[in-house]
């Protein structure tokens, strides 16, 4: 599995902003706010679910948690974390536990960065994520 970079790269930031702008174009700022709130609230729960599955040695549950999180992250343009989920999902069945643990740790770091970024972006009154 690839090491993660510190912070999101500019291309990913553009993806995230485009995802938020598409949401806003469709349903206005309220839809952006509500969906981002749900997304951000569920993200740590999903990472915790992956950790619990790993601790229990339940590889199917780990794959399911990664799969579910991947879709949400992808919808919001969080491509690096979505890729980490895809790698984890693919590795869940056969990779050594230590590799899966590293994968979950990496996913947790990427999600934490992602969460902080989205919280800042949504909170900013004139953020480019919600262009008029």
Partner 1 sequence: MAKLLVVDDDRMFNELVCRAMREQGYAVDSAQDYAGARALAFVQDYDALVLDVHLPDGTGLTLAQELRREGRTTPILLLTGADKPADVVRGLDAGADDYLPKPFDLDVLSARVRALIRRGGAQPEGPALAYGGLLLERGQYRLTVDGRRVACTPREFALLAFLVQRAERVVTRTELLEKVWEMRFDPGSNVVDVHVARLRGKLRESGARPRLITVRGAGYMLTAVASDAA
Tokens describing residue 5: 């970079």
Which residue is listed with tokens 């690096």? 80
The correct pick among 17, 33, 51, 64 for binding partner 1 (CB under 8 A) is: 64
- Residue count of the chain, please give it: 132
Among positions 75-114, residues that touch partner 1 (CB under 8 A) are 75-76
- Cα 115 from chain centroid? 8
The correct pick among 8, 16, 20, 35 for binding partner 1 (CB under 8 A) is: 35
Distance in angstroms (rounded) separating the CA atoms of residues 19 and 23:
6
Nearer to partner 1, 17 or 67 (CB): 67
- Point out which residues bind partner 1 (CB under 8 A): 19, 22-23, 26-27, 31, 34-35, 38-39, 42, 64, 67-68, 70-72, 74-76
């Amino acid at each position: 599995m690839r090491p993660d970079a510190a912070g999101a790269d500019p291309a990913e930031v553009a993806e995230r902003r485009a995802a938020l702008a598409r949401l806003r174009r469709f349903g206005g700022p309220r839809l952006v706010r509500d969906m981002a709130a749900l997304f951000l609230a569920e993200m740590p729960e999903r990472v915790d679910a992956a950790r619990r599955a790993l601790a229990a040695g339940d590889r199917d549950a780990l794959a399911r948690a990664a799969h579910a999180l991947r879709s949400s992250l992808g919808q919001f343009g969080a491509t690096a974390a979505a890729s980490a989920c895809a790698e984890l999902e693919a590795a869940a069945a056969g990779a050594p536990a230590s590799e899966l643990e590293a994968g979950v740790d990496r996913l947790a770091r990427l999600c934490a960065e992602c969460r902080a970024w989205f919280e800042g972006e949504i909170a900013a009154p004139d953020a480019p994520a919600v262009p008029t």
